[in-house]
Amino acid sequence: MISRNITSTRYEFVDCAKGLAAIFVVIGHYGVNVFLRNFGYSFHVPIFFLISGFFISNKRNFFSFIINKIYKLIIPVVVFILLNNFAKGGSTSTIFNNLSKDLLSCFYGSYYIPDSLKNIFVALPWFTFCLFASDLIFYLTIRIFKNKKYIVLTSVLCSILGFVLSNFGIYNITNIIRLPYSLDLALYNQIFLCLGYLFFKKINKINMNARMLLISIIAIVFLIASISINYTFKTPNCFIMDMNRRYISYISLLLSLLSCFVILMISKKIASNKILCKTFTYIGRITLIMYFFQGLELPIFHSLYSNTILSCIIRIIQCVVIAELIRFIPFINSSFNLKSRLDLELSNKKYL
């Protein structure tokens, strides 16, 4: 039987891992180095589902769980919609009409909309909706089943169902259609949440000794070889976990798990260095800001966005500035996992 209390401890290596993933999300969207992009796609989305599994508790009641997830995952989307629509400008009626359609689209919560529904819904960032659905499914699993074997079995069956739906039912390379809240991917990702839920304590206790360093190096070499095969021989994208666009397979699943392990081990090493730890934990705490506002292009930097390296750096800096501005806005700051500088110092060891 598995029972877990809600933790209030902040684990710095987890924030470092989120920070690394957020940086690779930007590189994946705006960088041109194929190898770095492919490596990023092998973990930068899956690791957030794995980390989510670290902290899901079966002690929280259903109502409290739903309210918390809406506040942490859905409200930030609403805030982004509001800011985005007012930033675009236009007449009052135009802003109102666009805003109404965007807010209504939160009930579908997907980037890919079926043609029959495009007059009702518009595309929205898919990740937070998918994570919301994934967390809800896994929460119900651990509430219903207390035995580890049944939790694992249910998660595997959900993952298989998600795999079938994603690849043979509603999704293919040329015609991408997602279920509401990317439910097909939410089911597929149950395996990541399950593994995070079951093995967090062991992962947390791992020390980066010589043995673990050797294992990590071997894993990195294997990943480099796998991604190189994909790039060199132009094989199908079975080595890449690009959940939102490409074919997902159980080969990519295994490689993603391996990538996540490597990133977590690297993050533990980063967390042991004071300066690097402070940098990456900061980025890890503004991952939602990075996700929503990475696409912002300011006219003053228009000529620099064409350079992919400068573009990635500028986008990250922009997100840092936005995070610092949002930090001073009550309610919104905590929904984005941000607090004022004073609150942050007082709760430095707490999960926000």
**Any domain includes 3:** no
Q: Evaluate whether residue 151 is within a structural domain.
A: yes
Q: How confident is the model at residue 305 (pLDDT cuts 50, 70, 90)?
A: confident
Residue 237 lies in a domain: yes
Q: Supply the pLDDT for residue 250.
A: 61
Looking at the DSSP bridge assignments, the partners of residue 350 are 9
**Hey, what are 285's tokens?**
């705490």
187 touches 137 (CB < 8 A): yes
Single-letter amino acid, residue 179:
L
Q: Look at residue 252 and tell me if it is in a domain.
A: yes
Q: Between 18 and 118, whose confidence is greater?
A: 18
Q: Where are the alpha helices (DSSP H) in the chain?
A: 12-30, 34-41, 46-55, 62-69, 75-88, 92-105, 127-144, 148-164, 183-188, 190-205, 210-233, 250-271, 274-285, 287-293, 308-326, 332-335, 341-346
Question: Which residue range is the domain that position 281 belongs to?
Answer: 12-346
Note the pLDDT of residue 13: 92
The more confident residue out of 235 and 141 is 141
Is residue 102 one of the residues assigned to a domain? Answer: yes
Please state the φ and ψ torsions of residue 234, each to the nearest 5 degrees: 55, 45
A 10 A CB-CB count for 341 gives 10
Residue type, 277: C
Section 285-295 average pLDDT? 90
pLDDT at residue 79 greater than cutoff 90: no
Residue 300: CB atoms within 10 A of its CB come to: 8
**Chain mean pLDDT for the chain:** 79
Please report, rounded to a whole number, the percentage of residues in the chain having pLDDT higher than 70.
78
Q: Note whether 42 and 324 are within 8 A (CB).
A: no
Give the distance from CA 78 to its chain's centroid: 17
Residue 119 falls within a domain, yes or no?
yes
- With beta carbons less than 8 A apart as the criterion, state whether 191 and 253 touch: yes
Residue 14 contacts residue 51 (beta carbons within 8 Å): yes
Measured in Å, how far apart are the chain's first and last C-alpha atoms? 28
pLDDT band of 235, cuts 50, 70, 90: very low
128, pLDDT greater than 60: yes
Other C-beta atoms closer than 10 Å to the C-beta of 74 total 16
Is residue 281, in this structure, part of any structural domain at all? yes
Number of domains forming the structure of the chain? 1
Written as one letter, the residue type at 257 is L
Residue 341 pLDDT: 40
pLDDT of 89 higher than 90: no
Question: At 113, is the pLDDT very low, low, confident or very high (cuts 50, 70, 90)?
Answer: confident
Mean pLDDT value of segment 125-151:
93
Q: What's the mean pLDDT in 29-49?
A: 80
**pTM confidence score:** 0.84
* Most confident segment among 171-185, 211-225, 300-314: 300-314
Which band of pLDDT confidence, cut at 50, 70 and 90, is reported for residue 346? very low
Q: How far is CA 323 from the centre of its chain?
A: 17
Residue 9 phi/psi, 5-degree rounding, is -80, 140
Task: Please state which of the ranges 44-48, 162-166, 222-226, 321-325 shows the lowest mean pLDDT.
Answer: 222-226
Strand partners, 9: 350
Both structure tokens of 49: 């589902």
Q: Count of CB atoms within 10 A of residue 345's CB? A: 9
Arithmetic mean of pLDDT, 76-104: 83
Using the Cα atoms of residue 234, residue 239, residue 242 and residue 247 in order, give the sign of their dihedral: positive
pLDDT tens per residue, range 171-191: 444 455 678 888 888 998 999
Cβ atoms of residues 37 and 67 within 8 Å: no
pLDDT at residue 303 greater than cutoff 50? yes
Q: Is residue 324 part of a domain?
A: yes
Q: Which residues contact 179 (CB under 8 A, 6 or more apart)?
A: 110, 165, 170
Copy the structure tokens of residue 140.
Answer: 């119900």
Residue 195 pLDDT exceeds 90: yes
pLDDT of residue 222: 67
Whether residue 14 is predicted with pLDDT greater than 90 in this model: the reply is yes
Look up residue 18 and give its two tokens.
């989120």
3-state secondary structure of 206: coil
- pLDDT classification of 7: cutoffs 50, 70, 90: very low
Radius of gyration of the chain (CA): 20
The pLDDT, as a whole number, for residue 238 is 41
